[in-house]
Structure 1
């Protein structure tokens, strides 16, 4: 069971950063938590697909797509792969697609929005580097908690 982010903040606020960016809950699980993994990419989801095809062991993939809504970085096939490989969730600073299918998966998905347009598949980007989204640093290996209230990140 995942602790509520509001309760967690009340207990450990001085150790946590709160993401002020308002993300939509688009997966079948609203509350999720786990160690952070990251991908930084812009309109290219090849690295996202690659990472989510590996054992997630309860991790959360934080994807910094630069806030672009021009094309989707996660769709139903990539999200299904994440479920099969044991990922707890995905946080996308960008767009997803296949909203209805993602809502039916046992996976936490938070994103800015959706767009049916596919992204490039050139493999341009970086894996497991610290990414900053709306002033909050997501460092690989640290912990993230997400629920209907928002996202908290271990400093």
Structure 2
């Protein structure tokens, strides 16, 4: 699945979620380090042992350029799994961003780099690197009840992150564009004195 740079810029998480019928919203604590960060790319799932980031190092080189790493830390939230060094490595590889259920650190530097990072929290606690740790690369993961498979469309912005199954991506993109176009008309009607009750035909 490919995501064009022009089209991707216009995809917003809330619109994609609604356009898909209320699908794919990841847990709300997962937010970008900077409100300006935006991602719309194909997922590369990673399962990480709690408190260990070796599988993230491996994922940087296993994922394809243009993919976004989506990491499940198995509930080990209170660790800084990702920082400036891994971000620089991911940028050099041409990866599109990171979504992670745990913490990250070097947050100011990550914001300065401008590479999209969506995390559950910021945390300074370091991680281990057990070569025998129970992780996985490219296998489906479950985040907040949402199954994320390789190639699924991940859209993230200041409001949150949504996952769209790859086989629905084109349909949802089209529906999202339609919603955005309709809302432009709604806003103009409001500026002309219209009412939300009438626009949405509310009782």
- Regarding TM over 0.5, the answer is yes
Cα RMSD over matched residues? 2.0
Instruction: Spell out structure 1 runs of 4+ moving beyond 4 A.
Output: none
Instruction: Please give the per-residue CA displacement for 1:74-95, whole angstroms capped at 9, x wherever unaligned.
Output: 1110011111111111011111
Are 1:104 and 2:109 an aligned pair? no
- Indicate conservation of the 8 Å contact 1:67/1:112, yes or no: no
In structure 2, the residue matched to 1:145 is 155
Instruction: Please give the per-residue CA displacement for 1:5-58, whole angstroms capped at 9, x wherever unaligned.
Output: 2232343336x4112332131168511111111111121111101221456421
Q: Which has the larger radius of gyration?
A: 2
In structure 1, the residue matched to 2:79 is 71
In structure 2, the residue matched to 1:136 is 146
TM-score (norm 2): 0.69
Query: What residue ranges of structure 2 are gaps of 5+ in the alignment?
Result: 1-8, 166-203
- Indicate conservation of the 8 Å contact 1:73/1:95, yes or no: yes
Are 1:32 and 2:39 an aligned pair? yes
SS in 1 for 2:108: helix
Displacement after TM superposition at 1:70 (Å): 2.9
TM-score (norm 1): 0.88
Q: In 1, distance between residues paired with 2:36 and 2:90?
A: 13
Give the one of 9, 19, 28 matched to 1:21.
28
Instruction: Please give the per-residue CA displacement for 1:88-130, whole angstroms capped at 9, x wherever unaligned.
Output: 1101111111111111113111111122222111132111111
- Indicate conservation of the 8 Å contact 1:4/1:147, yes or no: yes
Q: In 1, distance between residues paired with 2:61 and 2:80?
A: 18
- Indicate conservation of the 8 Å contact 1:55/1:86, yes or no: no
| Change beyond 3 A, Cα 1:63–1:55 | closer
- Indicate conservation of the 8 Å contact 1:96/1:115, yes or no: yes
Query: What residue ranges of structure 1 are gaps of 5+ in the alignment?
Result: none
SS in 2 for 1:30: coil
Identify, as 1 or 2, the structure richer in strand.
1
Higher relative contact order, structure no. (Cα contacts within 8 Å, ≥ 6 residues apart) = 1
Task: Name the count of aligned residue pairs.
Answer: 154
| Change beyond 3 A, Cα 1:85–1:28 | farther
